[in-house]
């Protein structure tokens, strides 16, 4: 699906943000029996709209293909579960949620978040397009509708009298091919006094720290506050508060309401983020044009570090099989010549191979067996959690390699 017009404002997409070449779908983990099969690859070219400054991919695979057999389950990260639990406690307290409230989460994954509201006996509903992931949530007792969310799904729920007091979208906005249909659905589903919260990786740290690996086909858009505020306003919604989060290398959590719900004024935090973005240059195309050179430099540094380690006879294995890692490995050309295998806690990935590079994914116990010199942490945003889990590698002098924001070896 070639995109020649901005998904938000309809303007022409003429400016390149970064071109990462051809790449397989980042979550298309390969089964052993398919290793000799042709692996589809797609252009991974991100552009920026000169009108609204929305960064987006201009050529993408079908969303239905992406979520056909989805391998990402949120509950396998302790850090992410704590984030979800803390969020639930904060929302219950701030908005006085109780058993008479209704909470709906779009892209609810395996019920990792809604379980904490359900434990408080607050009615919940998950909406999740990946049937294999939704089944896990349903087995936990989380009511889950297997659907892609948009205006039609919202209309159906409104007819069933299931409008939301709290409408949640964590790390879903970037996945949406039709932004206006999606936000139009949020508008329909929200009760008159209801609140929307959306979390998404923030474009500012992505550029500042050269987080190019967070760009992959599943993520169609990359947001600063400006385009999100414009998108919401075009559907009669007001962005009234925002928080900066450490998740995914730096994210924003925005709060929105119906425009006519004036009881919640726009906070100083919104003005603060606007000021940060303006000072950094997110309203100037020159800032976006420099990103390609940053990415080229990051690639060279990563390869230099790995090459030096291999020249010294050091053994390298990976930790994690995240989508971001697949972008990094494929773009940099890192395969089993550098990294013999990677490990992952999720049994849904173990026994498969990383897309493109065909690096095998094994159980974390393999690290104790092999005793590598270096563990390459692919989910670098979780490096503290991973280093704590694998602290035992220091017993044989093992070290950790973290590629982003600057390639670095940690003792």
pTM of the model: 0.91
What is the percent of the chain where pLDDT is above 90?
Answer: 92
On whether the CB atoms of residues 356 and 336 are closer than 8 A, the answer is no
Q: Cβ distance 385 to 77 under 8 Å?
A: yes
Q: What is the mean pLDDT of residues 164-180?
A: 96
Match 């984030």 to its residue by tokens. 83
Cα gap 116→149, rounded to integer Å: 22
Place of tokens 């007091």: 165
The yes-or-no verdict on residue 193 having pLDDT over 70 is yes
Q: What is the Cα–Cα distance from 172 to 404, expressed in whole angstroms?
A: 23
Cβ neighbours, 10 Å, residue 277? 19
Give the pLDDT confidence score for residue 80 in this predicted structure.
86
In order of their start, the domains of the chain are 74-288 (3.40.50.150), 291-410 (3.40.50.720)
pLDDT band at 79 (very low <50, low <70, confident <90, very high): confident
Q: 80 CB contacts (<8 Å, ≥6 apart)?
A: 74, 112, 247
From 336, 333, 290, select the one nearest 315 (Cα to Cα). Answer: 336
Secondary structure letter of residue 31 according to DSSP: P
The answer to whether the beta carbons of residues 339 and 35 sit under 8 Å apart is no
The per-residue pLDDT for 256 is: 98
Residue 197 neighbours by CB distance under 10 Å: 20
Give the per-residue pLDDT at 240.
98
Asked if 354 contacts 340 with a C-beta cutoff of 8 angstroms, the reply is no
pLDDT digits (tens, 9 = 90+) for 309-325: 999 999 999 999 999 99
**DSSP label of 267:** P
């Amino acid at each position: 699906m070639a995109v020649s017009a901005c998904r938000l404002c309809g303007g022409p997409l003429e400016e390149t943000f970064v071109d990462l070449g051809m790449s397989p779908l980042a979550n298309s983990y390969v089964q052993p029996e398919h290793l000799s099969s042709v692996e589809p690859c797609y252009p991974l070219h991100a552009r920026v709209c000169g009108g609204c400054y929305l960064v987006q991919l201009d050529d993408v695979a079908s969303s239905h293909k992406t979520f056909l057999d989805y391998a990402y389950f949120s509950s396998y990260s302790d850090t992410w579960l704590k984030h979800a639990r803390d969020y639930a406690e904060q929302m219950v307290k701030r908005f006085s949620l109780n058993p008479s409230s209704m909470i709906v989460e779009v892209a609810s994954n395996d019920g990792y978040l809604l379980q904490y509201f359900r434990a408080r006996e607050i009615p919940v509903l998950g909406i999740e397009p990946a049937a294999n992931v939704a089944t896990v949530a349903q087995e936990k007792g989380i009511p889950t509708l297997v659907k892609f969310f948009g205006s039609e799904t919202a209309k159906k729920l409104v007819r069933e009298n299931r409008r939301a007091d709290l409408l949640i979208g964590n790390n879903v906005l970037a996945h949406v091919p039709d932004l206006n249909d999606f936000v139009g659905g949020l508008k329909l589903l929200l009760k008159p006094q209801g609140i929307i919260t959306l979390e998404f990786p923030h474009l500012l740290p992505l550029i500042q720290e050269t987080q190019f690996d967070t760009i992959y086909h599943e993520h169609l858009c990359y947001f600063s506050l400006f385009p999100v505020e414009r998108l919401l306003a075009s559907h009669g919604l007001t962005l009234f508060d925002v928080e900066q989060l450490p998740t995914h290398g730096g994210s924003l959590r925005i709060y929105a309401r119906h425009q006519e719900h004036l009881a919640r004024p726009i906070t100083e935090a919104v003005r603060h983020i606007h000021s940060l973005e303006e000072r950094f240059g997110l309203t100037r195309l020159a800032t976006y044009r420099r990103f390609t050179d940053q990415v080229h430099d990051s690639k060279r540094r990563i390869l230099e570090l790995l090459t030096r380690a291999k020249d010294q006879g050091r053994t390298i294995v990976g930790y994690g099989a995240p989508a971001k890692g697949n972008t990094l490995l494929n773009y940099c050309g890192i395969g089993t010549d550098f990294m013999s295998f990677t490990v992952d806690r999720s049994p849904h990935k173990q026994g498969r191979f990383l897309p493109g590079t065909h690096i095998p994914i094994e159980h974390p116990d393999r690290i104790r067996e092999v005793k590598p010199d270096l563990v390459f942490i692919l989910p670098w945003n979780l490096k503290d959690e991973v280093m704590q889990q694998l602290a035992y590698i220091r017993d044989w002098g093992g070290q950790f390699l973290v590629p982003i924001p600057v390639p670095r070896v940690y003792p």
